[in-house]
Amino acid sequence: MWELGAVMGATDKTEMEFGQRGGLIIAGPTASGKSALALAIAKEFGGTIINADAMQCYRELRVLTARPSPADEAEAPHRLYGVKAADEPANAAWWRQAAKAEMEAASFPILCGGTGMYFSSLIKGIADIPDPGEAARAEARRLLAATGPEALHAKLDLETAAKLKPGDSQRIARAYEVLLGTGKGIAHWQAQPTEKLAGWRLKMILLDPPRPILREAIETRFTAMLDTGALEEARSLLAQNLPPDLPLLRAHGMPELAAYLRGEILLKEAEARACLATFQYTKRQMTWFRHQELVSKTDMQIIHSRIDQDTKFLERLSVDFGNFVKCPG
C-alpha cells in the first residue's frame, strides 16, 4: 500500500534521499470516471487537477468533450482545460511543456485524462521537432485538400511513410509540413534522443471498468450530453467553417452530429453511431495502456470499476486511497 505523503510532494525522507517531488496520474478509457475520481482526491488532499485529455484542451465543446463543469472547477483547481481555440491545434509537445509548468506550480499535481500519448511524452520525452513554419503548414493543408491523404502520403520520405496509414489525414499533413519546412522527415526527428521527466516520482491509478458497464455509461452520458447542449455546441462549431482536418472536429460525437446537422442521418442514428465509435475507441485506449510501462508496477494500481459522483468507493476515499497513495513503495 502507498502513503499519501509520497505522492503529495513526496515525503520529506523521499525528497531528501532522491530529490524528487510526487504526483499522481489518473488514466483510463473515456467515460470510466477519471474526472470524478480526480476531483474527489483533489478535494480530499488539496490537489491540482491537470488536464491530460487532448480534446478537453479546447474551449468550444465543453459538453461534448465532457470537460469538468464550472461547479466542479470551483471545488478544486483545474488547469489546461479549455485553454485552446479550435483553430489552435494542441499537440503532445505543447502539452508536455504546459503540463510541466503546472506541475511545478502545484503542491500535489493530479494528471487526469485518457490521451496516452500525452502521458508518454511527459514521462519518456518527445522529439524536439523544429517549427516548419506557417508557409509549410499552409502548403500541407492545401495539398491535403486538393489531392487527398493518400496522394500526400506518397510524397513523404520512405521511413516516415512506413509508419503512417495512407488515410490518416492529420498525421500525414503534419509529416509533410515537417518534411517541407525542415528538409527532414518526422521519422528522423523522432529518432533523436529525448529528454525524460526528471525530478518527479509519479504514481498511477488506471481505471479499467468491465466492458458492459463502460458501454452503458457511454450511452447514458451521450444522451445526457444531447439534453444539455451538445447539439448546439456542434452547430456553433460548424458555423465557424474551420478547416476539416482540425482535431476538434473529430471529437467523440462530433462527426456524427455534423452528419445529422447536414441532414444526412437521423439524430437517433447519429447517437447510436457516436456511442459505438466511442466504445470502439475505449478498446484501443485500454490496449495502449496495457502495453505501456509509464510507471513501475509498484507505483501503479488498476481499479476494475467505473467511478461516478455517487459511488460508495468515493465515500471511503480517505481510508482506501489514503493508504493506496501513501506507502513509498
DSSP 8-state assignment for residue 252: T
Could you say which of 158, 174, 190 is where a domain stops? 190
DSSP assignment of 42-88: HHHHT-EEEE--TGGGBSTTTTTTTPPPHHHHHHS-EESSS-B-TTS
The reply to whether 303 falls in a domain is: yes
Residues 111 and 158 in one domain: no
Residues 213 and 246 in one domain: yes
**According to the model, what pLDDT value does residue 309 have?**
63
Residues 18 and 160 in one domain: no
Q: Any idea what the CATH number is for the domain that residue 147 is in?
A: 1.10.20.140
Residues 234 and 140 in one domain: no
Q: How many domains does the chain have?
A: 2
**pLDDT at residue 170 tops 90:** no
Residues 287 and 148 in one domain: no
Residues 184 and 209 in one domain: no
The reply to whether 329 falls in a domain is: no
The reply to whether 184 falls in a domain is: yes
Average pLDDT over residues 223-233: 97
Average pLDDT over residues 156-161: 95
Phi, psi of 63 (to 5 degrees): -70, -50
The reply to whether 165 falls in a domain is: yes
Could you say which of 175, 190, 205 is where a domain stops? 190
**Count of all residues that appear for the chain in the document:** 329
Which residue in the block uniquely carries the three cell numbers 439524430?
Answer: 267
pLDDT tens readout for residues 52-65: 999 999 999 999 99
Type and span of the H or E element at 22: strand 21-27
Residues 118 and 167 in one domain: no
Give every CB contact of residue 44 below 8 A, 6+ residues apart in sequence.
317, 318, 321
**pLDDT at residue 242 tops 50:** yes
Residues 290 and 144 in one domain: no
The reply to whether 121 falls in a domain is: yes
The CB-side HSE value for 96 (13 A sphere, CA atoms) comes to: 21
pLDDT tens readout for residues 249-286: 999 999 999 999 999 999 999 999 999 999 999 999 99
Residues 145 and 282 in one domain: no
Residues 65 and 210 in one domain: yes
Q: Any idea what the CATH number is for the domain that residue 99 is in?
A: 3.40.50.300
Rounded to 10 deg, the angle between the 267-290 and 211-227 helix axes is 140
By the 8 A CB rule, do 44 and 4 touch? no
**According to the model, what pLDDT value does residue 1 have?**
34
For the ranges 86-100, 144-158, 296-310, the lowest mean pLDDT is seen at 296-310
The reply to whether 103 falls in a domain is: yes
Residues 116 and 159 in one domain: no
**According to the model, what pLDDT value does residue 104 have?**
96
| 328 or 128, which is more confident | 128
Q: Name the residue range of residue 306's domain.
A: 4-126+196-324
Mean pLDDT computed over every residue of the chain: 89
Q: Return the biggest CA–CA distance within the chain.
A: 63
